[in-house]
Amino acid sequence: MNPPEERPSCPARGKCPVYLAVSSGTVRYAPSGLGPALEGSLGEEPPDTDSSSMEIREKGSEFLKEELHKAQKELKLKDEECERLCRVREQLERELEELTASLFEEAHKMVREANTKQAASEKQLKEARGKIDMLQAEVTALKTLVITSTPASPNRELHPQLLSPTKAGPRKGHLRHKSTSSALCPLACPAAGHILTPDKEGREVDTTLFAEFQAWRESPTLDKDSPFLGRVYREDVGPCLDFTAQELSALVRAAVEDNTLTIEPVASHTPPTVKAAAAGYGSTNTCALSGLARACRHRIRLGDSESHYYISPSSRARITAVCNFFTYIRYIQQGLVRQDAEPMFWEVTRLRKEMSLAKLGFFPQEA
């Protein structure tokens, strides 16, 4: 058993306002004169702090739980907002894809329509150029008529209507006996069944040629395999367009057949050297087709090419004669000629004669 603890003696006992109390190793001082009650209270143990700590922990735990719940609630709201925004983004992406596809489809459609319109415009342009070339050939033919026939001195071969029936007689160099001329009677073409009357100028229709023309006239075409056009190509068109420059001759013939050849006058004030440099084929002093040294007042252009070829008057006359023939043939094919078969045949024969004369070197002199 432990001995009682001794209280330390105070040097000023009776005078000191407090006394020392020792309990369980704890020293406390109390004022003197307060009595044993206060002394007993001071000698008790201090209250336990575990319960207050537990209360603080519980309150802190509840506060943290509330904050965690709030944070989880806010996080859930954020997740819902993110999901909503993702759905909006996906919808916008789909709409953007659909819009892009629609725009591409519309662009392709516009390109197709533009290509179609361009092709139609190019076709119309080609047809217009063909009509222009046809009109140029007609103007050239009219110029030829004007050059060779004037009101003061008309060319009666080109204008047979000017011949008087009483004065119309056999041509010079073609004499007919009176008995044979008086014995002429209407002839029947065995192939076509057409009644052919001898011409007042001493012309007579060749039944074979007329039969071929009649057969072609029933279904006019530009096919060279037909007997009529095959003969014309073989006897007139081929020889008339047969020049020294064989390669260029073939190109000219193809352009004439396709109606894409253009004949242009050469400006007289332009220096020859400048013309030659601009065209690059021949010069104004050399014909590109015949290769002869001639004064070239015209030049030709083939199709859409920008190249020009200078030609002499003789070469121009040969090309013009063939163009005139094809122009009239196209008129018949298009139904623009409203005549009987015989007048049309005589006009075709006259055009063939012009090609033959041009091939032989006979051409009207230019003014």
8 Å CB contact between 292 and 361? no
Comparing 193 with 175, which gets the higher pLDDT?
193
Q: 281: pLDDT confidence band, cut at 50, 70 and 90?
A: low
Q: 150: pLDDT confidence band, cut at 50, 70 and 90?
A: very low
Instruction: Work out the percent of the chain whose per-residue pLDDT is above 90.
Output: 46
Pairwise CA distance, residues 319 & 358, whole Å: 9
Rounded to the nearest angstrom, the gap between the alpha carbon of residue 191 and the centroid of all alpha carbons in its chain is: 51
Burial class (CB in 10 A: 0-12, 13-18, 19+), 49: exposed
Residue identified by tokens 């006992």 is 13
pLDDT of residue 30: 47
Q: Which pTM does this prediction carry?
A: 0.47
Three-class secondary structure of residue 22 per DSSP: strand
Q: 279: pLDDT confidence band, cut at 50, 70 and 90?
A: very low
Pairwise CA distance, residues 325 & 191, whole Å: 24
